[in-house]
Structure 1
Amino acid sequence: MRRDRLVGKSLLTLDQCLGLDNAAAMELYSQHLNKYMLQVFDILGLRDIDIASAQGAEITLTDGRKILDFSGGFGVLGLGHNHPRIIAAERRCHDEHVIDCIKIAPHKLQGALAYNISRMLPEPLDVSFLAVSGAEANEAAMKLAERVQTPKGKTKFLCMRGAFHGKTHGALSLTTATDVQTGFLLGVPKENMIYAEFGNIESVREAIQRETQAKGNRIIAGIVETIRGTSCETPPPGYLEEFVRICREADILTIFDEIKVGMGRTGQFCAFQHSEAVPDIVTMGKTLGGGKREMAAMVTSQALWDNAYGSKNDCNLHSSSFSGMGESCAVAIETLNILEGERLIERAGRIGEHLKAGLARLRIKYPHTIVELRGKGCFQAVRLNFGEELAAKLVDIRKNPVFVTYQTVLIGALTRELFERHSILAHFQPGAREVLHFMPPYIVDEAQVDRLVDALDDVLGRGIADATVRFVAKNIKRIFG
């Protein structure tokens, strides 16, 4: 008999799931989720991290060990773990039986959230589409731009080489930070993509010029990360303003992707607000959900919205089943009020300056290892010069594809040392394996920042060779097995 037709399928109860020991939980993860991702966690020493709870910037393990989380859910945890006001907002929704889902009538919290978002942005960014992920928000931005521009015969998108905008079919077409396109039919074919170099405005001009003919160009929109999420690179002063100006002169819509760096992380609500530039469309997410809810948004002007969807027949051409769920909207509303009322955006800027000062001291102390400081506010990174010949003496990656590059061995060793020796979580991205990222919540204090800097000092002081030897030893079966 087929398994799905058996009576009494022995489903796990919630009590049983919360009570699983780590070994049993990881066995279920391996069998029914993604055993290969579990292998990656194992390499980094994180497979058996047995979490009891999390609060603020700290994760508490079942053995009582406290972990300082500078990975920040890759941008999700601007408010930290389990912010008390977010929990209170959820509890109020439960106590008052606030409706979550209604599709045949408007939900008052959706309009209220969209209003609050507009208050944080410059005019004319007044109209939102609510989504559940950054990739979905970017898809919404692309589709709106297409609706406006394809009647003019425009068929192409301008994006930056090495960008990351998501992994869904449309957003995937824009993502070249790492090789995530191979093996997929892209939502926007490659022949409809035009590339320029990030931070190089002349490259943008040249890309537009190449596509310009007597009747104009065929570019729908240009999309850019205001700070690169993978490499943590910041564009030069004036770049965003000039990007908007030359695109508008060429009748090209502008989309700023603020998914990872927006929501106050850089000391302004959106990173582009450090400049005078105002895009036609902006996307945001991650911290918008307060660290508890899946929430993102695409925001544009009323004029562009009307152009794309401005009739009763067209108003629902783009929608999503879980767009604007009641409790998610409530949490996002409270998140914006926390950012504003507790002045966490300004705090993110101040904490960022303290972090940058500490990292700058380490750069002076280790000039041959730390070659560049990157980022702004509570999204910063160090670009490292490991000297790959060191790893080559210790492991032959040609026989061990799990490591991909020598940089993977070295950055993996460094992050594992921070975790195992100092109980600190930091991270790196596959598209920039020489860059170590720090994304603390905005509520982190100076002493916790100092703890990170001291830990990095200790690991670098011991030497990359020491960290690499320990890393290789702990992965010996993968290297020689």
Structure 2
Amino acid sequence: MLIKKDSDFDRIHIWHPYSSIKQPLPCYQVVKAEGCKLKLNNGKMLIDGMSSWLAAIHGYNNPRINLAIKKQIKKMSHIMFGGITHPSAILLCRKLVDITPLPLECIFLCDSGSVSVEVSIKMALQYWLGRNENRKKFLALQYSYHGDTFAAMSVCDPNNSMHKLWKGYLTKHYFAKAPKCGFYERWMIKDFNNFYYLIKTHHKKLAAVIVEPIVQGAGGMRIYNPRYLKLVREYCNLYGVLLIIDEIATGFGRTGKFFAFEYADIEPDILCIGKALTGGTMTLAATITTREIANTISNSSANCFMHGPTFMGNPIACAAAIENLNILQDNYWINQVKNIEKQFFKYLLPLKNLQQVADIRILGAIGVIETYKAINIATMQKFFVEQGVWIRPFGKLIYLVPPYIIKQNELKKLIESVILAIEYPLNFI
């Protein structure tokens, strides 16, 4: 069957994230992206409120990152990382050692955030093998989300996440009740009781605790009190359990700190980063750990760390990441994120008075509107496109995570479109 229109071919043959091949959600074809604007194939321009799922923090077609990619591709686009290294990987890892806490100095480069989490889980398991201890369980949080691959899914909430379909297929782990105290709310020690009970009861079985710091992402865009995270670190220390911090969505300034764990003044044993690592230009992630953990892994029966992606340390992705970190180290992002947060507080917070709105959550360049009713994704998506903005809601959440470079009038347009969308009844189920 000859299918002439690209839109028809896409709808019939191409699977998109979390969508049905039989009854897919509508897709809008982007032909160019520049700054904070996406250009559709019909010429319509959309202001981007999603940063391509928190990745494109400097917007699109950043000239500095583009130039770094062009320079690298003239030298080599890819080279295997087994038995070979290259300058871009070395320089990137130098920078990662510099920007992360002092104990974190051993870096495993990988392909994506989910793979970074997989690697962190394997690191924790192999660490205890190296110590001749049988620890195979993990402790995570209710509403947690850590990726779509199988080990990553196993540490996502099995009852309240998009992965509940796989309950029964995945390794069973422990899940503490999610923190209820919000970021700006008074801390209540009872918020920590369930986590305390689980780590005290099961610590001898635990390879690690894994948490998203301060902001729980796809599990509900929940923003919690830093005191909770600080206590997680303290009790991991007390009971001798490794702490994995998943900064894939929160890292590189999104929350107002370079890393969200800085709000709790802690350091992880294993750190996962991705998404914004390359400024949203290439897929790249990393798992970073301590010398002690790395050395102990090498003492296990395998005598090495058992993982090795084909595109590990891709030179183009490394070059993009280097320049992205150079831009971040110019520190313009600090005021950019502060200005976004100010506008969120000024224009989003009053929406809490609307009848349809259950909650408003704001931190750094993250603005979340939770509604009482479930959102009709296809209808609301179409509504936003008609308004000239790109916002991708899910469940009962409309959230804004724009590029840091967004202009004040562009951000105001995003917020105004959200207000209109909330007031339009057909946007809800």
How high is the TM-score relative to the length of structure 1? 0.79
Alpha carbons of 1:312 and 1:346: their partners in 2 closer, same or farther (altered >3 Å)? farther
- What displacement does 1:415 show? 3.8
Query: Which residue identity is paired with 1:329?
Result: C
Q: Distance in 1 between matches of 2:82 and 2:133?
A: 33
Aligned to 1:426: 391
Aligned pairs (5 A) from 1:371-410:
371-386=358-373, 407-409=374-376
Aligned to 1:465: 425
SS of aligned partner of 1:111: helix
Going by fraction, where is helix more abundant, 1 or 2? 1
Alpha carbons of 1:85 and 1:451: their partners in 2 closer, same or farther (altered >3 Å)? same
Which runs of 5 or more structure 1 residues have no equivalent in the other structure? 1-19, 387-406, 473-481
Give the conservation status (yes or no) of the 8 Å contact 2:344–2:362. Answer: no
Q: Does residue 1:202 correspond to 2:183, yes or no?
A: no
Alpha carbons of 1:183 and 1:126: their partners in 2 closer, same or farther (altered >3 Å)? closer
Q: Does residue 1:62 correspond to 2:41, yes or no?
A: yes
Query: Which residue identity is paired with 1:178?
Result: S
- What displacement does 1:183 show? 5.0
Alpha carbons of 1:251 and 1:186: their partners in 2 closer, same or farther (altered >3 Å)? farther
- What displacement does 1:424 show? 1.1
Aligned to 2:115: 136
Give the conservation status (yes or no) of the 8 Å contact 2:14–2:21. Answer: no
- What displacement does 1:68 show? 0.8
Aligned to 2:53: 74
Q: Distance in 2 between matches of 1:203 and 1:346?
A: 38
Aligned to 1:14: none
After the TM superposition, list the runs of 4 or more consecutive aligned residues in structure 1 that deviate by more than 6 angstroms.
none
Aligned to 2:24: 40
Aligned to 1:224: 211
Give the conservation status (yes or no) of the 8 Å contact 1:373–1:381. Answer: yes
- What displacement does 1:28 show? 4.8
- What displacement does 1:354 show? 1.8
Q: Does residue 1:171 correspond to 2:159, yes or no?
A: no
Give the conservation status (yes or no) of the 8 Å contact 1:225–1:258. Answer: yes
Aligned pairs (5 A) from 1:196-275:
196-199=176-179, 200-211=191-202, 217-226=204-213, 227-230=215-218, 231-275=220-264
Which runs of 5 or more structure 2 residues have no equivalent in the other structure? 180-190
Aligned to 2:328: 339
Spell out, residue by residue over 1:427-473, the C-alpha distance to the aligned partner (whole angstroms, 9 max, x if none): 233xxx1111111011112111111122223334xx332545xxx8x
Alpha carbons of 1:84 and 1:312: their partners in 2 closer, same or farther (altered >3 Å)? farther
Q: Distance in 2 between matches of 1:326 and 1:251?
A: 37
Q: Distance in 2 between matches of 1:25 and 1:385?
A: 34
Give the conservation status (yes or no) of the 8 Å contact 1:232–1:380. Answer: no
Query: Which residue identity is paired with 2:25?
Result: F
Aligned to 2:398: 436
Query: Which residue identity is paired with 2:417?
Result: A
Give the conservation status (yes or no) of the 8 Å contact 1:384–1:434. Answer: yes
Give the conservation status (yes or no) of the 8 Å contact 1:267–1:347. Answer: no
Larger radius of gyration: 1
Spell out, residue by residue over 1:153-206, the C-alpha distance to the aligned partner (whole angstroms, 9 max, x if none): 22211011221111111111112242425358746x22xx11101223211101
Spell out, residue by residue over 1:85-111, the C-alpha distance to the aligned partner (whole angstroms, 9 max, x if none): 111111111234465445322222222
Q: Distance in 1 between matches of 2:41 and 2:6?
A: 15
Query: Which residue identity is paired with 2:20?
Result: Y
SS of aligned partner of 2:24: helix
Give the conservation status (yes or no) of the 8 Å contact 1:265–1:345. Answer: no
How many residues were matched structurally?
A: 408
RMSD: 2.5
Q: Distance in 2 between matches of 1:289 and 1:426?
A: 22
- What displacement does 1:269 show? 1.4
- What displacement does 1:338 show? 1.1
